[in-house]
Amino acid sequence: MALTSCRGAGTGTTLTVANWADWTEVRLERQYIDGFSARRPGVRVSFESVPNQAEYRDQILTSIAAGAPPDVFLLDNIDIPAFVRSGTLLDLGPYAARAGAPLDGFDPEVLAIFRRGASVYALPKGYSPMVIAYNKDVFDRFGVPYPPEQWTWERFRATAKALTRDVDGDGKSDVYGFWLDRRPFMWIGSLWALGGDVLCPDGTRASGCLDSPASEWAFRALTGLATRDSVVPRYFGLRRSVGDHMRNFYAGRLAMIPFGHFYMPQVRPLLERGRVRIGLTQLPYREGGAPATVLYASGFAVARNARHKRLSVELAAYMVDSLAQVTRAAGGLEIPALSRVADQVVRADTTGLEGVFRRAVRTGRMPWGARIEKWREVEAILPDIMDRIVMNREDVAAVLHDVAAQIDRALVPAPGTAARGAGR
């Protein structure tokens, strides 16, 4: 799919917006995008979507290198370091307010993901922290009190044990307290909340941090849910099929799961029909520590060599203004990046779920993917930690030491380049 912008017929101009949205998201975008053409007569906006993110990223880079980038394109937080290093993005900071998107309107924690010093390389579209969802019907069934919004690890662990039950008396658990996901983006927030981390603060190495006493304690706690406490089902991680954990959660066979706002579109219809009752709580933290979670976000960017720079900046700003964010909020996929719109969503929500998400932002941290360029390589290695400890029952300290060494090798800069870590 050619990601290009071109002159339309006559004096008209066609601007192209590229993203990885599915048809549902594109339908939401089209609900408000005609308003831009009303502001700018003779300008038409076209959407080009590549659902596969890896393919999408390659096509964006190729189109920029060829001098024919899309006028506006969506970037995931994990893409920011590479695009910033390449110098291909236009700094939107000086133009945002004049184009209708004053930077002080965005949640500062979310804006920081796309910011480098005074420069802003994408305007935030929306975001999600990671939290814990719990099935109220399971809690009620076994008479276990609902958790508070903030809770310690030991209370969480005791709750997961109380909810793991052999219902039919065959000696095997039929209901489990928690779902331990092997995918790093699902557990790194919990690792932080338990005092551990994957990389050292400058982002150049894992040794001394992934295998530190604090991280070892955190991984023992997380994996111990499966190896010691048996509150995690045997269909661990994604070893069976994508979606198993959600189906079992809805069916009452899982009491609690890690949860991002990206699950809300599939949960909302079930809530509205009364098929499931859920609550949300923040990630449990280590006693004596502080709550923490990870924030995932995406934003609209403009290439430095965009053919219609002024119009492109105006379009990017239009796609993150109030109308656009209210429209997307109706779809429920993410939290609006504009603080006042996010607060409106919280006030209008009768379930109380949006408020928990919103308050979790106060404990949110920028993901490593938004800070270092080689996070994809690191992330590909990390599932081995859960697999080796939970599935193979290998020693936690030995696994962390070995994986830290693997990550250090992956982070070694290519010849002729310098290591780049981005502080918060």
Q: What is the pLDDT of residues 111-169, one digit of tens each?
A: 999 999 999 999 999 999 999 999 999 999 999 999 999 999 999 999 999 999 999 99
Do 388 and 328 have their domain in common?
A: no
Separation CA 335–CA 291 (nearest Å): 20
**356-399 pLDDT, tens digit each:** 999 999 999 999 999 999 999 999 999 999 999 999 999 999 99
CA geometry: angle 137, 139, 142, nearest 5 deg: 105
Flag whether pLDDT at 236 surpasses 50: yes
Q: Which domain holds residue 213?
A: 129-294+368-410
Same-domain status, 77 and 170: no
What pLDDT band is residue 417 in, cutting at 50, 70 and 90? low
Same domain as 134, residue 98? no
Alpha-carbon torsion, ordered 216, 222, 223, 226, to 10 deg:
160
249: domain CATH number is: 3.40.190.10
> Looking at the structure, do residues 170 and 272 belong to the same domain, yes or no?
yes
Are 374 and 398 members of one domain?
yes
The total domain count for the chain is: 2
Pairwise CA distance, residues 336 & 357, whole Å: 11
Measured distance CA(395)–CA(398) in Å, rounded: 5
pLDDT of residue 27: 82
227 occurs within a structural domain: yes
114 and 243 part of one domain: no
pLDDT exceeds cutoff 70 at 424: no
**290 lies in the same domain as 149:** yes
